[in-house]
Every structure is written in structure tokens, then in C-alpha cells.
Structure 1
Amino acid sequence: MNLAVSEITQKFNASLTFKIFSICFASTHIPLLALITYLVTGFRSEAIPVLGTVLGATLIGTAFCLASVWMLIKPLHEIAKTVETYRANGAVKPVRSKRTDEVGVVTNGISVLIVELDATLSQLRRQATTDVLTGLGNRRWLKDIGSMEIARAARESTAISVVVFDLDHFKSINDEFGHDVGDQVLMAAGATIQHNLRPYDIAARIGGEEFCLVLPRTGTTAAIAIADRLRKELAAKAIGPLPAGRVTASFGVYRGDPKSESLKVMLTAADRKLYSAKNNGRNAVHWAAARSVSGESVAS
């Protein structure tokens, strides 16, 4: 007997159809049950009392039906709000239903799908904006985030500098030691950059062996110091078969004017100083500053 009751209960809990049928059955029979009870208990059978009893029972049955249906679909209402919130601002609010019927299955399934979708989209965004080999940002990411930082510097009237550097004789490393060693050099350069930059600095790999730094709230002197520290650390590294001093880099530093210059203009100016460093012996830091802010430092 207990086993049969348990099986019926499980089927009831797992079946939305059974629940809806039960609600409809109970709701439609409440007026009839009320009328039978009214008459059996010996109350008057005149039309008005009977009609009042039936109408009251009908209202009670309707309220019971609405409340029961609302309880059935409430998880769907919550998951709908979760979907709209995610579409509006990307916020993920998982919804968990303990029910085992179709509504519970759908609610939990959609909630899990939203979480998985958000994780997948986050991973795709990282892949679209991150250089896989070095872990730094890529050119597309630099364009977006760098332009935002320049706009912020313009609003707040703060300094901003750009550093572009290139690994010296990188092609000869690939040719002599192979691309595996070349990849090790690039990864070491990425790790060195990440180790030396501040939390708010921006770093990206923008070419084969070319890197870029955007340094918010950083004047010429501080930017030169950062570039020179990176230069020395790279030159001191022994990477695979390459002894210390074999991997060097040339740096171009440019202190820009965020109120009048774009990221593209600053990158071009820093790139010119990079080639100046390469043409004058490599493994060096050359710099310049926009005319409007050049009083801080003399261009190299």
C-alpha cells in the first residue's frame, strides 16, 4: 500500500499534465461539493441562499485555480526574468527549481544553458582579444582599450604614454634555432612584460615580434624607466639555447597629448622612435613627447 502511494506521489510530482488535471478537476467541482454540503447539512433550499452558496464556491474555486496555476508557472516567470536580465546587461542569475515535472526540467535546463552560454561567450571574447602565445592582448583589443584610456586621460587631464618595442634580430633566432625557440622567446617576453607592469597598464602583442604598452597616468620620465627596466630584464634572460644577452629589444617611447592626439598618432610617433633605436645600434630606448607636453622631457 505504502509503495503504491509512493509511486503515485512520484508520478504526480513528475507530471505537469497530472497536476493541471488535478487543479482543473478540483476547481470545477468545488461549487458542486459546496452545494451538496449545503443541502446535506439541512440548510434552506430556497433559490437565493443556494445561488449565493454556488457563487461563493465558484469564486473560491477560481481563486484556487489561479493560485495553483501561478505556483505551477512561477519558475518559468523567474527564468523569463533571468533571460531578460541577461539580454539587457549580461548579468547571470542562476535559477534552481526542486520540482521534477516538465516546468522544473525546463527551468533548470535553461538556467544551466544560460550559465554555459555566458562562459562560452566569455571564453570566445578572451580568445578574440588575447594573443594565445604570450597571454597579452592583441591589436584589436589594444585599439579598443587604448582609445578608452586616451579618452579618460583627456577628461581627467592626466598624462599618458605609449611604448612600442621590437625584439632584435628575431628572424635570425627563428632561422638558426627554429620556431620552437622563437616561441619560447615570445612567451618569455610576454611573461617579462606582465611581471613588470602595474595593474592598470595595458600590454599587447601587435605583430610577430612587436609589442605595445599603453601607460595611463605616466609621464615621459616614468615611461622611459619602465621601458629601460624591460630592456634590461630581457637582455639578462637565458632562454633555451640562447645565452643571456642574445635576446634584446629596441624601444620607442612617446608621451602623447590625449586632448589632441589619437592612439594611432601616438603609436606612429612611438614607432618612429623605435626605428630610431634600431638604426642606432639596437637594445636601446629612444623617446619623444608631444609639443604641447614636451616641457617635461627633451626628445631623443
Structure 2
Amino acid sequence: MPTLGRSLIAKIFLVSFLSVHVPLIALIIHLLSGFDTGPVPVFTLILVATLVGTAICLFAIWRFIRPLHHLAEALMKYPQDKSVLKLQSEGADEIAIVTDVTKSMLWQVEELTKKLKHQATTDFLTGLGNRRWLTEQLPAAQSQAERSNEPLSVILFDLDKFKHINDEHGHEVGDNVLMIVGEIVKDSLRPYDLAARIGGEEFCIILPRTSGEAALSIAERLRAAFEASYLDPLPIGRVTCSFGVVQAGPDERLQQLLRRADTALYKAKAAGRNTVIGVFADKNI
């Protein structure tokens, strides 16, 4: 059987039992002490003892179930308020067990939610974000750029003749190429830059605090890094990309940015691939 400290039922039963018998215990003590046994003193004693016993019982039960009340309040505020995860279990009874188990389950839910969110917003091959993630992140980046009166630029690029790599060497080699591209991008960008794979072999990079001219330099460095990469059985220089670079305008949405960047990318393809083209204020660079 559970000990008294580990059983809420046992504690409530014991308190209730003792509280109910407070009038009887008080009466016995009164009689054994030789006090007045008249009806009025005895009635008054029993009445007061009953009230005292009831108050003790209610107070004790309130103390016992107060942790359950705190748990219920915290759960009602979840998930807006994560305070339930910080609750400290009091004692070792059933309420403490329920509190600990609830916290453990919610921690697992939080971890699973993080993993699912990461999987839903991350490209599994490259480790970069995906199109959905980029769509969610861009408004905040644009708002920050507007508040700070700083430029924001976009690089759109894709792998040249990627289908030929898959057709000639198989999809495993193609996947390895995508992973190398992802690693080069991650190693080349700043912590606050945003990079995502938005299509099969198409990538997009959002560059806060970066003018169009500076974005051109970044794209050129990436172009050279891709060209210099090596992946067996492909020769050095086989992995190349074409780049379109634009600087974002005020309140320009992602689709508008991508459309302009795609125009620049198309010109880079038409210029012979493995090329960087920027389109700024109706000028090609």
C-alpha cells in the first residue's frame, strides 16, 4: 500500500476522519476536565468544535488540491504561455505524479513540434530553407530593412545543365551536387542572410543590409566557388550556376522579387551560363 505522503486519497481520508471527530474529541476532553456539563456550554463547545473541524478539513483539502489547481490554470494557458513546463511538483502524491507526467509529455510535444517545423521548412538534401520558409522569413527581413533604411538584395541561381548530370551519372550524383551547393552557400553567407532551395535545382538568397552592387560581388564569389568544386566522377568546372541579382524595392513581395530575379537569371542563361547578371533600375550589370 502507498504511504500516507504518496497517497492523496489517504491524506484526504485521514483529515476528513479527524475533522469529523473534532467535536467528539473536544467533548471528551471537556468532560474529563470537569468543566460545566450543562446543555448550553456543551452545545456551544460542540458547535465551535464542529466549525473548527470543518475549517481544518477545508483548509487541509485546499492545500492538498492546490497543485492541481495550478496545473489546470497552466494547462489552460498553454501553448501561448509555456509556464506549465516550469511547474514544480509538490510532494509525491498522485497530483505530483500527474504534474511530472504532464510536463514530460508536453516537453516531448515541444521537441516533436520543433522537429516537424524544421522538417517542414528545411530542404532535407541541402540543409537550406525551402520555399515556404523563405516566404515566411522575407516579410520580417523587408520590414527590418525599411525601418533601418537599409538595402536588401536577392540572388536567384540554378545549376547549369543539371538534368544532364542526373541523366549521365544518376540521381545519386545529382543529389551530391545539390548537397555540395548547399554547403558552399552555408559557408559563404553571413549569419543573418537567408538561403533556400526553392525548386529542383533553383536556389534563392536574401541579403539584408546589402546593395545590388554588393550582391553582385557575393554572387560572383559563389559562382567561382561552385566552378572550383570537385565531385567524382564530375570534372572540376562541371558544376556551374547562373545567377540573377536584383535589389528589392519598397513593399515588393517575394513573387515580384523572384520574377525580376528570374528575368536576370534568364539573361545569364542566354549569355552562356556560368554567369552573373544584375538588373537594377532597368539596367543590366
TM, length-normalised to structure 2: 0.92
Q: What does residue 283 of structure 1 align with?
A: 274
- Given the superposition, is the C-alpha separation of residues 92 and 122 from structure 1 closer, same or farther in structure 2, using an over 3 Å criterion? farther
Task: Select which of 37, 47, 57 maps to 2:49.
Answer: 57
Q: Which amino acid aligns with 1:59?
A: L
- Given the superposition, is the C-alpha separation of residues 290 and 267 from structure 1 closer, same or farther in structure 2, using an over 3 Å criterion? farther
Q: What does residue 62 of structure 2 align with?
A: 70
Q: 31-40 or 96-105, which moves further after superposition?
A: 96-105
What displacement does 1:82 show?
3.0
Is the CA contact 1:92–1:115 (under 8 Å) kept in the aligned structure 2?
Answer: no
- State yes or no: 1:274 paired with 2:265: yes
Task: Select which of 82, 87, 98 maps to 1:95.
Answer: 87
Q: What does residue 253 of structure 2 align with?
A: 262
Q: What does residue 212 of structure 2 align with?
A: 220
CA distance in 2, matches of 1:116, 1:158: 41
Q: How does 1:134-153 map to 2 (within 5 A)?
A: 134-153=126-145
Q: What does residue 163 of structure 1 align with?
A: 155
- State yes or no: 1:174 paired with 2:159: no
Q: Which amino acid aligns with 1:230?
A: L
- State yes or no: 1:28 paired with 2:28: no
Task: Select which of 72, 90, 110 maps to 2:102.
Answer: 110
CA distance in 2, matches of 1:262, 1:26: 72
* 3-state secondary structure, aligned to 1:87: coil
Q: Which amino acid aligns with 2:54?
A: T
Q: What does residue 122 of structure 2 align with?
A: 130
Q: What does residue 5 of structure 1 align with?
A: none
- State yes or no: 1:204 paired with 2:196: yes
Is the CA contact 2:216–2:276 (under 8 Å) kept in the aligned structure 1?
Answer: yes
What displacement does 1:99 show?
4.0
1:88-109 CA distances to partner (integer Å, 9 max, x unpaired)? 2456624343644322222211
Residue segments in structure 1 that go unaligned for 5+ positions in a row = 1-7, 292-297
Is the CA contact 1:254–1:290 (under 8 Å) kept in the aligned structure 2?
Answer: no
- Given the superposition, is the C-alpha separation of residues 92 and 124 from structure 1 closer, same or farther in structure 2, using an over 3 Å criterion? farther
Residue segments in structure 2 that go unaligned for 5+ positions in a row = none
What displacement does 1:290 show?
4.4
CA distance in 2, matches of 1:60, 1:104: 29
Q: Which amino acid aligns with 1:287?
A: G
Q: 152-161 or 27-36, which moves further after superposition?
A: 152-161
Is the CA contact 2:67–2:90 (under 8 Å) kept in the aligned structure 1?
Answer: no
- Given the superposition, is the C-alpha separation of residues 82 and 56 from structure 1 closer, same or farther in structure 2, using an over 3 Å criterion? same
CA distance in 2, matches of 1:287, 1:163: 9
Is the CA contact 1:97–1:104 (under 8 Å) kept in the aligned structure 2?
Answer: yes
1:187-234 CA distances to partner (integer Å, 9 max, x unpaired)? 111111111111111111000010001111111122112111111111
* 3-state secondary structure, aligned to 2:177: helix
TM, length-normalised to structure 1: 0.88
Task: Select which of 172, 178, 189 maps to 2:181.
Answer: 189
1:119-172 CA distances to partner (integer Å, 9 max, x unpaired)? 111111111111111111111111111122223323333211111000111111
CA distance in 1, matches of 2:107, 2:54: 38
- Given the superposition, is the C-alpha separation of residues 74 and 243 from structure 1 closer, same or farther in structure 2, using an over 3 Å criterion? farther
Backbone CA RMSD of aligned residues: 2.0
What displacement does 1:273 show?
0.5
Is the CA contact 2:193–2:208 (under 8 Å) kept in the aligned structure 1?
Answer: yes
Q: What does residue 3 of structure 1 align with?
A: none
What displacement does 1:44 show?
1.6
How many residues are matched? 285
- Given the superposition, is the C-alpha separation of residues 158 and 279 from structure 1 closer, same or farther in structure 2, using an over 3 Å criterion? same
* 3-state secondary structure, aligned to 2:154: strand
Q: 272-281 or 30-39, which moves further after superposition?
A: 30-39
